[in-house]
Amino acid sequence: MAIVYKIDLPTDKILCAYNNNVIRFNSDSTETPISATITFNGLTVTLYPNPTGFFYFNFKDYITGLINTDNFKDDAELLLPTATLYVDWTSKVFLYSSIDITINLANETTDTDNVPVNWLANMFQLDNKGTIPSTLPKILHEDSVLTFYPNLPFDVTILTPQTGDEYYFTNIDNSLSLTIEPPHGQVNRLIISDGDLEYALFDLGYNEFELTSDKIGSGDGATVSIIRKPITCFKGIYIKWINSFGGWNYHYFESWRKDQTTKDTFELNNDFDNLEDTLSKVIQGGKTAFNKIVTKQEFTTNENKAGFLTLFASPKIYLYTGTFGQQTQVTDWLEVSLTPSTITLNSSHKNQSTYNLTFELPPLDTRTV
């Protein structure tokens, strides 16, 4: 006898951890099913059948807890020169599960199955359904065009199958290539620049890249275009955030301002003396204060803003506090939050879009009673 799936987990795709991942199954045995157990990544869940003998389970809540262990904290040392020119990012956004499923039958026999699956800390939406094949490489960015600003840190996040092959990140325009060798993880961050040193892959301006297992280019790999755009005078702010695929996006805002918001904490009644003996009728408990950065970004077309729009729903955003043109350390990034807002995604009237953003910095230390 065997387990029969009405809905199964596809093993030829990488599953999206932050979407529902449902299985429905039963036994083809004539014996009555009593219970079922699902064991994966050190967890065991016990299920009981519905009146028709089927079992139901959704992996989403369990897998998201297993795959996100530090709230997507970016603590990677992305420094050049390094022997590999990339950093393994697998444990942060990727999870492998060997799922054991057992159905316990009334006659004390069991039906069993094993399902090996891979999970990525990403999601698709109802109006943008998609899949990620497990046999092809993928660049974990929404945009087909990225912008790289020399003398600022920048990396590209990639996903490669566990085939044992070497993979190549090749500039098609000048044939310069970076080799990704196994047995490193399936998700890697290619270090393009650490703020001081830059890996020599680029021509000035537009560069087209292909990620393949064939250095010449097999045509079935992933592609991305990167614009190398030097900054003549660094006066803006530089932001990075984790995108919907688990990679890191970067953006340079040229114009900005910093504001400060303060708020009274509390007041205590101090009106106990005669008027001539009173300096104040209340005692101020102090103030809370925080700074915020106000900026904006304009797009003249709808092209290449998909990645930028993931900023608004990103769970992790950092502000660059390091020095332009110097090697970047992990401590050169300050976590900030983006003030909630309503944004225009697309419009039938015009392609031009202006996005106003307010980043809140961590609260300031103040004196309070």
**CA distance linking residue 40 with residue 11, whole number of Å:** 15
Same domain (yes/no): 340, 229: yes
Decide if 237 is inside a domain: yes
How many secondary structure helices (H) and strands (E) does the chain include? Answer: 3, 27
**92-117 confidence digits (pLDDT tens):** 999 999 999 999 999 999 999 999 99
**80-96 confidence digits (pLDDT tens):** 988 778 899 999 999 99
Cα angle for residues 187, 170, 174 (degrees, 5° grid)? 155
- What does the pLDDT average to over 24-31? 96
Is the per-residue pLDDT at 123 higher than 90?
yes
Cβ–Cβ under 8 Å, residues 102 and 111: yes
CA nearest to 323, candidates 149, 195, 231: 195
Is the per-residue pLDDT at 315 higher than 70?
yes
Is the per-residue pLDDT at 186 higher than 80?
yes
N- to C-terminal Cα separation, the chain: 72
Same domain (yes/no): 119, 246: no
Same domain (yes/no): 100, 182: no
**Token pair of 174 as six digits:** 């000048």
Given 123, 143, 162, which residue is the final one in a domain?
Answer: 123
- Kindly report the backbone phi and psi dihedral angles of residue 146, in degrees, each rounded to the nearest multiple of 5, phi listed first: -115, 160
pLDDT at 303: 61
**Token pair of 276 as six digits:** 């001539």
Same domain (yes/no): 34, 168: no
Same domain (yes/no): 167, 239: yes
Q: What share of the chain is helix, strand, coil (3-state, %, to 5)?
A: 5, 45, 45
Same domain (yes/no): 161, 211: yes
**CA distance linking residue 14 with residue 62, whole number of Å:** 16
Is the per-residue pLDDT at 215 higher than 90?
no
In a 3-state reduction of DSSP, which class is residue 277?
helix
Cβ–Cβ under 8 Å, residues 187 and 92: yes
**CA distance linking residue 50 with residue 75, whole number of Å:** 45
If residue 336 lies in a helix (H) or strand (E), which one and from where to where? strand 333-338
User: Is pLDDT larger for residue 55 or for residue 180?
Assistant: 55
pLDDT at 200: 85
pLDDT at 282: 87
**Proportion of the chain above pLDDT 70, given as a percent:** 94
Tell me the average pLDDT of the chain: 90
Structural domains counted in the chain: 2
Least confident of 130-144, 202-216, 337-351: 337-351
User: Is pLDDT larger for residue 368 or for residue 257?
Assistant: 257
The string of DSSP codes covering 68-99 is: -SSTT-------SS-SSSEEE-HHHHEEEEEE
Is the per-residue pLDDT at 351 higher than 80?
no
**Which residues on neighbouring strands pair with residue 156, listed in sequence order?**
190
Q: How confident is the model at residue 283 (pLDDT cuts 50, 70, 90)?
A: confident
CA nearest to 188, candidates 133, 137, 243: 137
If residue 65 lies in a helix (H) or strand (E), which one and from where to where? helix 60-67
Same domain (yes/no): 228, 341: yes
- What does the pLDDT average to over 168-192? 85
Region for residue 94 given its phi and psi (left: phi exceeds 0; alpha: psi -120 to 50; beta: otherwise): beta
Torsion angle of alpha carbons 89, 94, 98, 103, nearest 10°? Answer: 160
- Kindly report the backbone phi and psi dihedral angles of residue 64, in degrees, each rounded to the nearest multiple of 5, phi listed first: -65, -30
Q: What is the DSSP letter of 204?
A: S
Decide if 220 is inside a domain: yes
Same domain (yes/no): 68, 25: yes
**Which residues on neighbouring strands pair with residue 249, listed in sequence order?**
241
pLDDT at 102: 98
**Token pair of 1 as six digits:** 């006898």
Decide if 294 is inside a domain: yes
pLDDT at 164: 66
pLDDT at 286: 87
Decide if 179 is inside a domain: yes
Same domain (yes/no): 103, 146: no
Same domain (yes/no): 99, 35: yes
Do β-strands 110-120 and 13-16 pair in parallel, antiparallel, or remain unpaired? parallel
Same domain (yes/no): 9, 109: yes
Q: Is the pTM of this model over 0.85?
A: yes
Is the per-residue pLDDT at 183 higher than 60?
no
**235-249 confidence digits (pLDDT tens):** 999 999 999 999 999
**CA distance linking residue 145 with residue 225, whole number of Å:** 5
Given 123, 144, 178, which residue is the final one in a domain?
Answer: 123
CA nearest to 310, candidates 254, 240, 367: 240
Decide if 266 is inside a domain: no
Decide if 106 is inside a domain: yes
Q: Which range of residues forms the domain containing residue 338?
A: 135-258+288-363
**CA distance linking residue 108 with residue 33, whole number of Å:** 10
Same domain (yes/no): 156, 184: yes
Q: How far is CA 309 from CA 150, 337, 369, in A?
A: 23, 15, 42
Is the per-residue pLDDT at 219 higher than 70?
no
Decide if 253 is inside a domain: yes
In a 3-state reduction of DSSP, which class is residue 331?
helix
- Domain of residue 188, CATH code: 2.60.40.10
